[in-house]
């Protein structure tokens, strides 16, 4: 679980970073956010709702432009959950499962994307990098941590490598 003060601080720093780059990141009212999510059949964890209420992604960038970290955070209106069979990789194992992934960040015009898998029964989520068509490598279970890495331009958020390449990843992803 995250510290809510840390999350709010990371969200505010992220929004300030965008403003300093001349990127609009308008807030969105909770009632409007809930209406959009219901219309698009997307369920967000509370951490993500908090982020979007402070800064509704980078709508003037998506889908054609990028920020200084080569990312475009999808505005709430563009979020969708894709249900299909995914290979979910974490530090200990990889398993194939049919589940929903919601993309919220596009890196370099879909070179890869970042999304989350929600575990409604546990009230948790996992944020991961999607470098392959049906592959989700877990990076963290904390939006605050993800935003911190994003703001630091940390190598962690670019690392899609893992030891489970026999699960169907295209070999082209492993060549450097």
Residue 86 clears pLDDT 70, i.e. is over it: yes
pLDDT bracket for residue 112 (50, 70, 90): confident
CATH 3.30.300 is held by the domain 4-154: no
Question: What are the structural domain ranges in the chain?
Answer: 4-154
Closest CA to 134 of 93, 100, 105: 100
Give the pLDDT band of residue 9 (cuts 50, 70, 90).
very high
User: Taking each helix axis from N to C terminus, what angle separates 4-20 and 46-54, rounded to the nearest 10 degrees?
Assistant: 30
Average pLDDT, the chain: 84
How far apart, in Å, are the Cα atoms of 87 and each of 39, 70, 138, 161?
A: 28, 25, 10, 13
pLDDT of 108 over the 90 cut: no
Check whether 170 has a pLDDT greater than 50: no
Comparing 17-21, 88-92, 94-98, 139-143, which segment has the lowest mean pLDDT?
A: 88-92
pTM: 0.85
Residue 145 C-beta-side C-alpha neighbours within 13 Å? 13
Q: What percent of the chain has pLDDT over 90?
A: 52
Q: Residues 38-52: what's their mean pLDDT?
A: 94
């Amino acid at each position: 679980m995250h510290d809510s003060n840390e999350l709010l601080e990371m969200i505010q720093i992220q929004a300030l970073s965008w403003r300093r780059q001349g990127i609009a990141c308008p807030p969105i009212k909770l009632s409007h956010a809930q209406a959009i999510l219901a219309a698009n059949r997307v369920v967000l964890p509370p951490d993500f709702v908090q982020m979007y209420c402070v800064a509704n992604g980078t709508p003037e960038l998506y889908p054609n432009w990028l920020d200084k970290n080569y990312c475009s955070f999808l505005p709430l209106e563009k979020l969708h959950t894709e249900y299909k069979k995914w290979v979910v990789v974490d530090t200990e194992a990889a398993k194939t499962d049919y589940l929903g992934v919601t993309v919220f960040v596009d890196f370099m015009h879909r070179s890869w994307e970042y999304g989350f898998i929600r575990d409604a029964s546990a009230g948790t989520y996992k944020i991961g990098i999607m470098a392959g068509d049906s592959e989700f490598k877990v990076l963290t279970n904390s939006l605050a941590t993800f935003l911190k890495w994003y703001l630091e331009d940390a190598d962690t958020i670019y690392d899609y490598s893992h030891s489970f390449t026999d699960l169907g990843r295209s070999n082209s992803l492993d060549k450097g």
